[in-house]
């Protein structure tokens, strides 16, 4: 498992937890997935521009 994947998984789990707090987990999972990919792009961008 790569480090950048761990960030995505963590954001999905946190989003599901917040979604369960509001009685609907699926939108929280989708929002967590989107935020995880944004963090992955911001922190693990390997291109040197």
Domain residue ranges in the chain? 3-43
> 39: which 2 tokens?
């963090």
Question: Between 8 and 47, whose confidence is greater?
Answer: 8
- Tens-place pLDDT, residues 20-43: 998 888 999 999 999 999 998 988
Q: Which of 17, 10, 21, 18 is nearest to 43 (CA)?
A: 10
Is the pTM above the cut of 0.85? Answer: no
Which residues are CB-neighbours of 32 under 8 A, at least 6 positions away?
Answer: 11, 12, 13, 14, 15, 16, 18
Buried b (16+ CB within 10 A) or exposed e, 20-38: eeeeebeebbebbbebbee
């Amino acid at each position: 498992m790569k480090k950048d994947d761990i960030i995505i998984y963590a954001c999905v789990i946190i989003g599901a937890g917040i979604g369960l707090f509001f009685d609907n987990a699926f939108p929280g999972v989708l929002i967590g997935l989107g935020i995880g990919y944004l963090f992955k792009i911001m922190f693990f961008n390997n291109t040197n521009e």
